[in-house]
């Protein structure tokens, strides 16, 4: 595939995403699926349409379908992509129901679990991961036969499937809980898509099919970002915030288990997720039923940093540490991740000791 081809696909996806976003804004107003500025955690000032993830979903998968011959030119087969698409459909259904009826956390988690199971059923799996200390760690050591179709035996590979499900759930809930500021999740997801695209079109790791899917994803996010940047004209909604983590998680798997890339792009939000869950558990609270305003992006706002600058700070870390993955080997990526952890710990400590008047403008 030539650079001209990539450029055409990028621009087509971008335009389609803009078109669908405008359409979804009208649809959300018509269906009255809106986010009202009520409650202490809400920082927007007027009712804002939800369902935004549907625009990314439609533009991403429509262009993927149009490029199906290119996507099937590598190691992936149609059942892999069908599992991917089916899981995304479940997220859109659950997201619509939650945006419309405000589901309880117990009902919300059903949809990302179903999405993860679709990935496993489609045969997308993490068979091996790179050991930062050298060599590979294989997970396909425990196989349980499930059924036999046309002479082919299908297995439940315990550690492989369990690791895949856990990985996807972590990615989805990272972007879900990060979705607290205009353009934050959308922009970081676009950066992740671009990094994976660049990584998979290099000579050493050449995977043009995965690179194309990552580029389409980045373009779909950027088209939506035109309307999601502060002040946002539309929000991702429940389905959208889960969808972006889901797609990034799947791209990391199908690109050959490039887990480190996604970990470094989403490193800051991921560590904020771990900190948030730990803090709520230590306080004796259910980490998924007691939302608060103590996320890292809330702490930055409380220091008087504006929404746009806070989002740009997250973009910088995603670009910097994600960009390092293009040049570092496994051990170097581990050191970069340790550095990011150290920065996060220092940041949390400093922000806990220093508070200023909030400025959400």
DSSP β-ladder status, 143-149 and 34-35: unpaired
Give the pLDDT of residue 360: 47
> What pLDDT digit, counting tens, does each position of 282-299 carry?
777 766 665 666 677 777
> What pLDDT digit, counting tens, does each position of 198-251 carry?
988 886 778 889 999 999 999 999 999 999 999 999 999 999 999 999 999 999
Give the pLDDT of residue 326: 83
Q: What is the mean pLDDT of residues 66-85?
A: 87
For 122, 200, 203, 270, the CA distances from 254, given in Å and listed in that order, are 12, 11, 17, 21
Q: How far apart are CA 308 and CA 200, in angstroms?
A: 31
Q: What is the mean pLDDT of residues 48-67?
A: 95
Give the pLDDT of residue 31: 94
Q: How many CB atoms lie within 10 A of CB 242?
A: 31
Nearest to residue 321, comparing CAs of 305, 307, 338? 338
For 23, 146, 163, 306, 307, the CA distances from 125, given in Å and listed in that order, are 35, 16, 8, 40, 37
Nearest to residue 259, comparing CAs of 199, 348, 179, 349? 199
Give the pLDDT of residue 357: 45
> What pLDDT digit, counting tens, does each position of 295-351 carry?
777 777 777 788 899 899 999 999 998 888 888 777 787 788 888 888 877 876 776
Predicted structure pTM score? 0.88
For the chain, give the percent of residues with pLDDT over 70: 81
Residue 2 pLDDT class (50, 70, 90 cuts): confident
Of the ranges 183-197, 227-241, 345-359, which one carries the lowest mean pLDDT score?
345-359
Q: How far apart are CA 33 and CA 54, in angstroms?
A: 13
Q: What is the mean pLDDT of residues 72-94?
A: 90
Q: How far apart are CA 18 and CA 16, in angstroms?
A: 5
Structural tokens at position 122: 């489609």
Q: What is the mean pLDDT of residues 72-100?
A: 91
Give the pLDDT of residue 123: 82
Give the pLDDT of residue 140: 60
Is the model more confident about 354 or about 119? 119
Q: How far apart are CA 227 and CA 225, in angstroms?
A: 5
Residue 361 pLDDT class (50, 70, 90 cuts): very low
> What pLDDT digit, counting tens, does each position of 120-130 carry?
888 887 766 66
Q: How far apart are CA 6 and CA 218, in angstroms?
A: 12
Query: Could you identify the residue written with the tokens 């690179």?
Result: 211
> 147 - beta bridge partners?
154
For residue 32, give the 3-state DSSP assignment: coil
Mean pLDDT of the chain: 84
Is the model more confident about 180 or about 21? 21
Give the pLDDT of residue 49: 94
Structural tokens at position 58: 């439609």
């Amino acid at each position: 595939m030539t650079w001209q081809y990539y450029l055409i696909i990028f621009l087509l996806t971008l335009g389609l995403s803009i078109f669908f976003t405008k359409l979804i804004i009208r649809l959300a107003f018509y269906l009255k699926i809106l986010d009202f500025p009520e409650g202490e955690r809400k920082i927007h000032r007027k009712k804002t349409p939800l369902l935004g993830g549907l625009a990314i979903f439609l533009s991403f998968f429509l262009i993927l379908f149009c490029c199906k011959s290119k996507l099937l030119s590598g190691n992936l087969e149609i059942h892999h992509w069908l599992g991917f698409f089916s899981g995304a459909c479940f997220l859109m259904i659950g997201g619509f129901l939650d945006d419309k009826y405000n589901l309880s956390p117990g009902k919300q988690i059903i949809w990302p679990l179903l999405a993860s199971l679709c990935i496993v059923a489609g045969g997308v799996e993490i068979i091996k991961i790179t050991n930062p200390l050298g060599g590979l760690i294989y997970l396909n050591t425990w196989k349980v036969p499930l059924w036999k179709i046309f002479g082919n035996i299908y297995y439940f590979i315990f550690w492989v499937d369990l690791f895949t499900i856990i990985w996807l759930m972590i990615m989805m809930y990272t972007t879900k809980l990060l979705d607290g500021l205009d353009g934050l999740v959308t922009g970081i997801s676009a950066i992740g898509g671009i990094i994976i695209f660049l990584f998979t079109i290099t000579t050493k790791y050449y995977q043009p099919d995965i690179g194309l899917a990552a580029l389409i994803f980045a373009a779909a996010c950027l088209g939506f970002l035109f309307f999601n940047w502060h002040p946002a004209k539309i929000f991702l909604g429940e389905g959208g915030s889960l969808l972006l983590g889901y797609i990034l998680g799947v791209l990391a798997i199908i690109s050959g288990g490039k887990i480190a890339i996604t970990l470094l792009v989403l490193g800051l939000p991921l560590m904020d997720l771990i900190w948030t869950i730990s803090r709520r558990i230590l306080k004796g609270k259910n980490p998924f039923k007691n939302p608060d305003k103590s996320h890292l992006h809330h702490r930055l706002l409380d220091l008087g940093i504006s929404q746009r600058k806070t989002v740009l700070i997250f973009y910088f870390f995603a670009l910097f540490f994600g960009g390092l993955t293009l040049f570092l080997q496994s051990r170097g990526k581990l050191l970069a991740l340790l550095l990011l952890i150290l920065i996060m710990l220092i940041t949390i400590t400093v922000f806990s000791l220093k508070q200023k008047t909030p400025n959400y403008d």
